[in-house]
């Protein structure tokens, strides 16, 4: 196994930069850079770093040594905490590139090695990927929960339970000669599988809220042309993300803007004005606007109240700076001016309360990815088949398939097919 290195912090300049190494040459590399013995494991040590080729002083850095297997990747690891100037970082990376047995890490390679060395499973790797891009407290909490191994522990307990049941079912095959024995075996499987099915049902029930936290709630802003939809989206985003003009039909395609609603992630959609149009491009934008509104979690309806839209609707009366209406939340609607900002706080308060109500109380969701749903659903269907199957051989096969599905969830079985897909989402140095 080669030794990899990468900048694990943001692009310089910065106050501090972190360079990570993992692999068998990590320790010798640290000794070569410092010309000193390795520091005590997991203790910071202030060392001067020199380019081994020339002896040039590169920086004075805090160094950390993590001998295998007690490291993130399960391999020998080194961390170099440097001054975060571009020159310092470039000098150290250049020195590392010239050392034998070292090469720059690819995206997600540190986490991939942690998986391959048994330090984490696939569900924890996915949670770490989610944590890297988390923008809200809800996303952070959900990612941290699964990164700690909660889904892994659940899946392994289910798999262990099924392996025990499978072993008993296969042992019974040698004795299931009488009809009474076959009936008793089926009754036993039904009894022992029932509580596991209930747990799988409960886990899968959390999938919708898990996806909502990870991907964000969707809020579609719709209405006729020139109702102020783009102005409202810009006001909610606190920056100019949508073009605003007095001409109808300016917005043709859907613009997506992320929002943090009191710790709950949301995506606000600016859509084309709803009207009859002979322009094929504008007509396509209007069709897309109606389709996205139909699937949105909430619709902010501006302008004409006669527009027929499905789903949950919050009516917005915009441009109150041109009328006598008082800004604020009036229950049936929110009155505001996207231009002056009057009443915008009332709308945000209403949206935050709505967003928090969409999140179920208690622990973060256990199931957060479509891949989780697929393999848990597969295991559930295999277990239901085992409960219905009178033939003891086929019943044992259904149990075996359920065990396999849970193994694929965690990566204990046939993980190679999904490794590239999962780890390609990581940044360099993670």
Choice among 127-136, 185-194, 260-269, 278-287 with the minimum mean pLDDT: 278-287
Nearest to 233 by CA among 273, 180, 200, 201: 273
Backbone angles phi, psi at 71, to 5 degrees: -145, 170
* Mean pLDDT, range 241-268, rounded to an integer: 70
Is 11 annotated to bind a ligand? Reply is no
**pLDDT exceeds 90 at position 409:** yes
Determine the pLDDT at residue 61. Answer: 97
What is the pLDDT confidence band of residue 85, given thresholds at 50, 70 and 90? very high
Q: According to the annotation, is 20 in a ligand binding site? A: yes
Q: Is there a binding annotation on residue 271?
A: yes
- 343 labeled part of a ligand binding site: no
Residues 319 and 227 in one domain: yes
C-alpha span between 353 and 110 (Å, rounded) = 40
**CATH number for 33:** 3.30.1360.120
The annotation status of 250 as a binding-site residue, yes or no, is yes
Q: Do 201 and 380 meet the contact criterion of CB atoms below 8 Å apart?
A: yes
* Residue 310 pLDDT level (bands cut at 50, 70, 90): confident
| Residue 146 annotated in ligand binding | no
Mean pLDDT of 131-154: 93
Same domain, 315 and 371: no
Q: Give whichever of 83-87, 308-312, 424-428 has the largest mean pLDDT.
A: 83-87
Tell me what the pLDDT averaged over the chain comes to. 87
The residue-averaged pLDDT of 179-205 equals 84
27 annotated as a binding-site residue: no
Q: How high is the pLDDT of residue 36?
A: 96
d(CA 385, CA 374): 17
Q: Is 149 part of any known ligand binding site? A: no
- What is the distance between the alpha carbons of residues 246 and 333, in angstroms, rounded to a whole number? 25
- Beta-bridged to residue 334, according to DSSP, are 316, 329
Mean pLDDT of 223-251: 70
Q: What is the Cα gyration radius of the chain?
A: 29
Q: What is the DSSP string of 148-163?
A: TTHHHHHHHHHHHHHH
The confidence score (pLDDT) of residue 305 equals 58
Q: Is 31 annotated as a binding residue?
A: no
53 is in an annotated binding site: no
Q: Judge whether 270 is annotated as a binding position.
A: yes
Q: Judge whether 251 is annotated as a binding position.
A: yes
- Same domain for 75 and 26: yes
- The answer to whether residue 430 is domain-embedded is no
Residue 430 annotated as lining a ligand binding site: yes
Whether residues 108 and 193 share a domain: the answer is no
- Residue 429 belongs to a domain: no
Residue 401 in this model has a pLDDT that exceeds 60: yes
Whether 250 is covered by a domain: the verdict is yes
Q: For 27-44, how does the pLDDT look when each residue is reduced to its tens digit (9 = 90+)? A: 999 999 999 999 999 999
Give the residue numbers spanning the domain of 25.
Answer: 3-117
pLDDT score, position 122: 93
What pLDDT band is residue 168 in, cutting at 50, 70 and 90?
Answer: confident
Q: Is the pLDDT confidence value at 244 over 50?
A: no
Question: How confident is the model over 211-229, as pLDDT tens digits?
Answer: 989 989 999 998 888 888 8
d(CA 58, CA 134): 34
CATH number of the domain enclosing 280: 3.40.50.300
62, 85, 117 - which closes a domain = 117
Domain end point (choices 59, 94, 117): 117
The answer to whether 134 and 216 have CB atoms below 8 angstroms apart is no
Tell me the Ramachandran region of residue 341: left when phi exceeds 0, alpha when psi lies from -120 to 50, beta otherwise: left
What gap in Å lies between CA 58 and CA 17, rounded to an integer? Answer: 13
Is the domain of 395 the same as that of 298?
Answer: no
- pLDDT class of 98 with cuts at 50, 70, 90: very high
Q: Are 398 and 189 in contact (CB under 8 A)?
A: no
Final residue of a structural domain among 53, 83, 117: 117
Cross-strand partners of 17:
82
pLDDT at residue 412 greater than cutoff 90: no
Please indicate, yes or no, whether residues 133 and 45 belong to a single structural domain of this protein: no
Position 187 pLDDT exceeds 50: yes
pLDDT (tens digit per residue) in 276-300: 455 555 556 666 666 666 788 999 9
Question: Is 245 annotated to bind ligand?
Answer: yes
Report the DSSP pairing between strands 45-50 and 217-222: unpaired
Q: Is 289 annotated as a binding residue?
A: no
Q: Say if residue 249 carries a ligand binding annotation.
A: yes
Q: How many domains does the chain have?
A: 3
pLDDT score at 273? 57
| 230 annotated binding-site participant | yes
């Amino acid at each position: 196994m080669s030794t990899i290195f990468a900048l694990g912090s943001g692009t310089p300049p910065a106050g501090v930069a972190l360079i990570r190494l993992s692999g068998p040459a990590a320790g010798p590399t640290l000794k070569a850079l410092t010309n000193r013995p390795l520091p005590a494991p997991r203790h910071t040590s202030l060392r001067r770093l020199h380019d081994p080729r020339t002896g040039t002083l590169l920086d004075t850095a805090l160094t950390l040594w993590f001998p295998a297997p007690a490291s993130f990747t399960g391999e020998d690891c080194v961390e170099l905490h440097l001054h975060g100037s571009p020159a310092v970082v470039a000098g150290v990376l250049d020195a590392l590139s010239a050392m034998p047995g070292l090469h720059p890490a690819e995206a997600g390679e540190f986490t991939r090695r942690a998986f391959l060395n048994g330090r984490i499973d696939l569900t924890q790797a996915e949670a770490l990927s989610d944590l890297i891009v988390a923008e809200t407290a809800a996303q952070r909490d959900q990612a941290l929960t699964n990164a700690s191994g909660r889904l892994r522990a659940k899946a392994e307990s289910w798999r262990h339970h099924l392996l025990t049941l499978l072993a008993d079912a296969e042992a019974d095959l040698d004795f299931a000669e009488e009809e009474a024995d076959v009936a008793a075996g089926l009754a036993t499987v039904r009894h022992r599988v029932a509580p596991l099915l209930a747990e799988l049902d409960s886990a899968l029930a959390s999938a919708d809220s898990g996806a909502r936290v990870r991907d964000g709630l969707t809020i579609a802003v719709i209405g006729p042309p020139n109702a102020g939809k783009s102005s409202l989206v810009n006001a909610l985003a606190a920056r100019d993300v949508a073009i605003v003009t007095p001409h109808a039909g300016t917005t043709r395609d859907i613009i997506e803007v992320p929002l943090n609603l009191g710790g709950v992630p949301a995506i606000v959609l600016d859509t084309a004005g709803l009207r009859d149009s002979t322009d094929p491009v504008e007509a396509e934008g209007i069709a897309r606007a109606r389709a996205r509104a139909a699937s949105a979690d909430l619709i902010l309806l501006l302008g004409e109240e006669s527009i027929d839209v499905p789903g949950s609707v919050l009516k917005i009366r915009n441009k109150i700076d041109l009328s006598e209406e008082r800004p604020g939340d009036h229950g049936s609607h929110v009155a505001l001016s996207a231009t002056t900002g009057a009443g915008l706080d009332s709308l945000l308060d209403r949206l935050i309360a709505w967003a928090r109500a969409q999140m179920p109380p208690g622990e973060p969701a256990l199931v957060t990815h479509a891949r989780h749903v697929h393999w848990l659903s597969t295991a559930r269907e295999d277990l239901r088949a085992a409960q219905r199957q009178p033939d003891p051989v086929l019943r044992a096969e259904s149990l075996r398939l359920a065990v396999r599905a849970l193994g694929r969830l965690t990566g204990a079985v046939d993980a190679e097919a999904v490794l590239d897909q999962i780890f390609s989402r990581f940044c360099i140095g993670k």
